[in-house]
Amino acid sequence: MGDVRQREQPVAGGPSSGNPRLGETRPHGNPRLGETRPRGAVLRRADQAVVAGLVLAALVSMAIYWVVQGGPRGELIEIDRAEPLVARFLVDINQAEWPELAELPEIGETLARRIVDSRLREGAFRDHSDLRRVPGIGPRTLEKLRPYLLPMPEQADVAGGANGDANAL
């Protein structure tokens, strides 16, 4: 096909006609300013059929999944009926920093900072009961913390323990 170019035509009117669009040109056969011309479809027919097929396949797949998962029998898990998950959270009191300690029950930011300060000033905790040296931790608080604390090694098992020769080979 040859290159078909449209001729531009001057807008009707003249200097004495009072037409504000005087001297404008528009392509031959195109609608006037403000008029819309119908445009072709964004996708071709074949492309539209492919998109429709993909959407239909997705809907059928979702319906099959729903049936397989027990949807018609009411067996889908609802968040209100789901069993709560329990995460086991254990902390090493000789390694943890204050933000980690603050997550424990009965321990806030202030008490967590006190635990870290005590560990830095007085040395590592030898056992869980050593936490009682921290102001604000009494017997009840210590008992609430025990399930969240990593077990401490026995003093005899620690290098340089009380009876160093007993473990010698």
Structure tokens belonging to residue 148: 């969240």
pLDDT higher than threshold 90 for residue 37: no
pLDDT digits (tens, 9 = 90+) for 45-78: 999 999 999 999 999 999 999 888 888 887 776 6
Domain enclosing residue 130, as ranges: 98-154
30 belongs to a structural domain: no
pLDDT interval class at 164 (50, 70, 90): very low
What gap in Å lies between CA 85 and CA 63, rounded to an integer? 29
54 belongs to a structural domain: yes
106 belongs to a structural domain: yes
Phi/psi at 69 (5° precision): -75, 0
Q: What CATH number is attached to the domain comprising 139? A: 1.10.150
| pTM of the complete model beyond 0.85 | no
The structural domain count of the chain equals: 2
pLDDT digits (tens, 9 = 90+) for 137-160: 999 998 988 888 888 776 655 565
Phi/psi at 83 (5° precision): -70, 135
